[in-house]
Structures are given as C-alpha cells and as structure tokens.
Structure 1
C-alpha cells in the first residue's frame, strides 16, 4: 500500500549551536565584565588597587582604551586597561610566526677537531634556532683519517648536547652514518628555555645561515691528513 503522506524531506536533528573558533572571544572586556569589583592594572603595568568595575571602566574610557579581564578566577578578578585590538593583533602575529618556524629544520655542523671559540659560536647559533622554535640537526663531519677515531666526534657532539639541555632535547641518541654523526634536537617549550650563549645583539633566526653548505665546503680542519 502506497504511503499517503507527502515526503517531507530528511529529518532534521536538534539545533546545534555554531562553534566560535575565535580564541579571544572568551576574554571578557568592558561591559561584559560581570564582577562588581576588580583589581585594576594601568596601561603601564602599575597596580591601581581594588575598585568598582564601573569606575575602572570609566578610567579606561577616559584614556580611549579597554578594560580587559586578564585573571577571571582571582578574587576579585584582575583587569587591565589596554588596547584590546592591539593585544589581539600582537598575539596573532606571535602565533603565526611560531607556526611558521615550528616546521623548520635547521642544521649546524661541527668538526672533530673544532676550536673552542668555533664550538661556542656553533652553540650560540644552535640556541638562536631553538629559541625561535625550530628543530635543529647537529651534524659532525669526519675528514681524512679522523674517521678512525669516532669516539672523538661523539665526544664533541655529546659535549654540545650537554651544553644545550636548557634549550632542547635530542629525539634519539647520536648516530654514525657514513662519515657523519647526526642527532636531531627539538626545542623545549618556550617557558622552559634558558639560553646560556645568546647575546642581546644576536640576529633573528631568519637572518642566520645554515651551516650545511658553508662548513661542508671548508677545505680546512684535517683535509691534509688524507
């Protein structure tokens, strides 16, 4: 027997709320702040004390800025007078830069008979890469008869790893492959990195050349021992 009821189309499920993917949407600001009182911080970072939220909002309006709740779980919540649009822009800029550098693999090359000052330069360069969130491949190239004493090369690499423990950790132990010892370093979380060799005037990561070409083409350091 044919169905006498007309086809009404597919049955719709219950209403689903659209997900807001804005990571800053949950930050309360201005009139959205619910607390009656707040501990207020000035745009310069100065503590202004506890005051009614309405008064804090008026202070923010007077200087053309926003009142932003930065510690909602505190008693009372902590709010800062700031330019919220500028804050969002700076955070998005840092996030996009971190994503861009996270996938990069840099390379720093050592030699078995590297001089102390060159060794320190390599460590500082490695720290720069790790500090920007890049993974770093440490490579030691044996030249001439140096391969007869691989323990010397492993000593150099292990010394470098020991000096860099506050910046990154090796993905696996160093391995000898042909004429090279290789090990990959992954940077520690940003809040756990403690640089030992970086200087205030060190250049940005994008301006630092890899060692993969320059050091490999250097004919010194033992080529005459072949």
Structure 2
C-alpha cells in the first residue's frame, strides 16, 4: 500500500467514492464505512482523511495529518538528493597541492555519510599511462585506511578510471571528540584545622617556676 503514496493524494471532500476502507491515525483497521462517516471520524480527531490506495476496491483511506505527511515526503526527497554519489575528478597532471584539496573535500563527503566516486580523466596520450591512475588511487586508499569501504575497486570505465569509496561509519565515529571527564570531587570531610591554643603551645613551652632562682643567680654571677 505504501508504494502508492505520493504527496498529491485526494483528501477530505475530494474523496467522492463510497464506501471506503478506513485506517485510523494509530494504524488500526476500522473497516469499510461510508465516506461521509469516514470524514466525520477524521474531523473528530482533528485530522484529515487521505486516500492512500485509490486502486484498491474499496479504496483505502487513512486518517492522518496531511500537511505533516507532505512535509515528511518533501524532506525524504531532499535527503535523497543530498545523499547522491559525490564525484571527485582528478587528472594525471594534478599536482600534489590540488590533489590534497580534493582528497580533503572527499573526506568531508565521507564524514557526512556520502559515497565518493573518484574519477581519473585521461586525455590523448595520457591513456597510455594508466599506471599513474592506479598509483594515485592506491595512495588515496592508503590515506583513508580503515575510514572507507571499497564500493568499487579501481578500474577503467570507458576512457576514465573509476573508484568508489563508502564511509566506514564506526571508524569515523572513533574520530569524534570524546566528552571530557568530570573534575575530581573535593574531599567531603577535610581534616579540621589545628586550634590556635595548640599552635601557641607548639611555639613556646611554659617555663618551670623552680628554675627561675637558679637562672637569676647565674645571671647575677
């Protein structure tokens, strides 16, 4: 039934045929009812009655939010176009700097989940030196390592050499920065500081009164 879903479906009063088979918003089968009764149920739910399988007998209608449905359909189409196969074109004469830029761009495509097709374009006499393309593709594979999966190994496609790489999601996930560990918590019960009286006792001990006369005599002598 889902194969026939499009964003241009009859809904609500546009559905003239009766009776219809109804599925509610929870995907429960309601059964075959008059189209006016089906529309009433949709209205009571604050939703739309959408004819999702017009070629069935009786046609199948579903109670849903038609505006939300159309939005989701457009989002799926947009996402499909965004995830098309990306292409990176190279030449045997491409210098190292330009190649590094193109490989970095391919890295971004792969990181976002897209596949990348590398195309080595040969012109004229360059076709006699296909080993240049193979060597370049080997270096690219060495650069990415386990970040990629080979969807199509290097090989000729007409006059060009093609290689298709897909992302290894698990390997790319390992490159994501890990959250920092929380700082160590302070000691809940720190040792109490020493009292002032204890500190004072440690500085000077009390004098012995019996020793004072002897000390005075020694001083007078």
Q: TM-score, normalised by structure 1?
A: 0.43
Higher-Rg structure is 2
Q: Which has the higher contact order (CA 8 A, sep 6+)?
A: 1
Q: TM-score, normalised by structure 2?
A: 0.44
